[in-house]
Amino acid sequence: MICIKAEIPEELSDIDDELKAIYHSKNTVCFYIFKTRELRNAFIERTKGMNKESREKIYKEN
């Protein structure tokens, strides 16, 4: 396991983990927030193997 210390806003920490998808690239960490667990799971399945830009496009479409 690798942990990187960061200042995470309390509002983000308060969101149920099952409503978040977390991805990283070389210089960023992205938190995608969903209204339901089903939407989160569908997003994860739909974006498997995609790069950051493609994944963001799908997220914005929904």
| Mean pLDDT of the 1-25 span | 92
Mean of pLDDT over the chain: 92
Query: Which neighbouring-strand residues pair with 29?
Result: 24
Closest-CA residue to 30 (of 1, 14, 6, 61): 6
Residue position matching structure tokens 């992205």: 30
What is the chain's Cα-based Rg?
A: 12
pLDDT digits (tens, 9 = 90+) for 28-47: 888 999 999 999 999 999 99
Question: Residue 19 above 90 pLDDT?
Answer: yes
Entry pTM: 0.78
Res 27 pLDDT > 90: no
